[in-house]
Amino acid sequence: MESAILIIQCKDQKGIVAAVSQFLYFHNGNVQEVDQYIDSETGDFFMRAKWELKSFAIQKDHIQRVFSETVGDKFEMNFTLHFNDPKPRMAIFVSKLSHCLFDIVSRYYSGQFDVEIPLVISNHDSLKPVVEAFDIPFYHLPITKENKQAQEEKQLQLLKEYNVDFIVLARYMQILSPAFIASYPHNIINIHHSFLPAFVGAKPYHAAHKRGVKIIGATGHYVTEELDAGPIIEQDIARVKHHNTIEELVQIGQDVEKVVLSKAIKYHLTKKVMVMGNKTVIFN
């Protein structure tokens, strides 16, 4: 069934919820989900409402304008409107590791993700057969120090060509340039293979093994300019033991990585994650 999702972010003011609720009520909106959050520290207000389009009084194409004129402008709201048709378009970036890619493709295949995957981009060609087995175009763009800028431009061109809405770095082992990141603000999701902020940077499982931790983890976050420092969307952990080798930590960790990344994608797809400074609000 077709539905609309309204995402609002603004300064908290008396009467906001009343105004939004009235808007939906007057136009005969059959509300299915509604969540608010008031951050007492910053005074910020966040809201997510989902309702059926079928019986709604306003035509799909006019909702944005009518809401803006009757409610949004008055409260100086930052708001976005989302529909589940057409489906959002997600690009996947990979290197050589396959576990996250498999997990995403598996959910895509079974219909768990309401998304299109128009292309996969990789700096290696080893995962090409997997990707093409699922009829997804695969682009091999190897990265060196010298060609990095040129290749990023090609990537951006491809993303534009395929109308990509957001990007998932499924263990893509390259650092993106600030310019690239700026092209998809809060629309690039990365999985870091540690429980951030522990073990920032390269080889976190080696660092975890050296420190002798009893728990390892993974972090799904939006990519920002500062490495591994963007807003955290989801984290999870697994227990490890003294006898686990680094290779075993890697294997144990991969089970966490893939589930965490897929949860982060799901929150992003269903518009349940909102960015608040360098943190996230998750309506779950």
Question: CB of 177: closest distance to a copy of itself in angstroms?
Answer: 24
Burial class (CB in 10 A: 0-12, 13-18, 19+), 39: middle
Number of residues in contact with a copy of itself under rule CB under 8 A: 69
**27, two tokens:** 């136009």
Question: CB of 150: closest distance to a copy of itself in angstroms?
Answer: 31
Which range in 83-91, 138-146, 172-180, 192-200 contacts a copy of itself by CB under 8 A?
A: 192-200
278-281-282 Cα angle (round to 5): 135
**222, two tokens:** 């939006």
Choose, from 73, 103, 228, 236, the residue flagged as catalytic: 228
Which of 33, 64, 83, 202 is in the footprint of a copy of itself by CB under 8 A? 33
Burial class (CB in 10 A: 0-12, 13-18, 19+), 189: buried
Residue 21 backbone zone (phi > 0: left; psi -120 to 50: alpha; other: beta) = alpha
Q: What is the DSSP string of 11-41?
A: E--TTHHHHHHHHHHHTT-EEEEEEEEEETT
Within residues 212-241, the interface with a copy of itself by CB under 8 A covers 212-215, 217, 231-237, 241
Question: CB of 18: closest distance to a copy of itself in angstroms?
Answer: 4
Q: Which is nearer to a copy of itself, 99 or 154 (CB)?
A: 99
Using rule CB under 8 A, residue 136 touches a copy of itself: no
Which of 28, 42, 78, 80 is in the footprint of a copy of itself by CB under 8 A? 28
Q: Which is nearer to a copy of itself, 68 or 255 (CB)?
A: 255
* Residue among 224, 232, 227 at smallest CA distance from 185: 224
**Whole-number Cα distances in Å, 212 to 148, 201, 216, 252, 257:** 36, 18, 10, 15, 20
Question: Is 228 a residue of the active site?
Answer: yes
Q: Which is nearer to a copy of itself, 182 or 215 (CB)?
A: 215
Name, in order, each residue with C-beta under 8 angstroms of 251's C-beta and a sequence gap of 6 or more. Answer: none
What are the residues facing 116 on neighbouring strands? 89
Which range in 84-92, 105-113, 114-122, 155-163 contacts a copy of itself by CB under 8 A?
A: 105-113
Bond preceding residue 197 cis, omega within 30 of 0: yes
Which of 4, 120, 169, 281 is in the footprint of a copy of itself by CB under 8 A? 281
**Whole-number Cα distances in Å, 101 to 106, 126, 156, 226, 259:** 8, 12, 20, 25, 11
Q: Mask 34-63, x = binds a copy of itself (CB under 8 A)?
A: xxxxx-xx----------------------
* Residue among 169, 243, 232 at smallest CA distance from 198: 232
Within residues 139-178, the interface with a copy of itself by CB under 8 A covers none
Within residues 244-273, the interface with a copy of itself by CB under 8 A covers 245, 251, 254-255, 259, 262
- The site for a copy of itself (CB under 8 A) is made up of 14-15, 17-18, 21-22, 24-25, 28-38, 40-41, 97-99, 102-103, 105-107, 109-110, 112, 130, 133-134, 195-199, 211-215, 217, 231-237, 241-243, 245, 251, 254-255, 259, 262, 276, 278-282, 284
Q: Which residues are catalytic?
A: 228
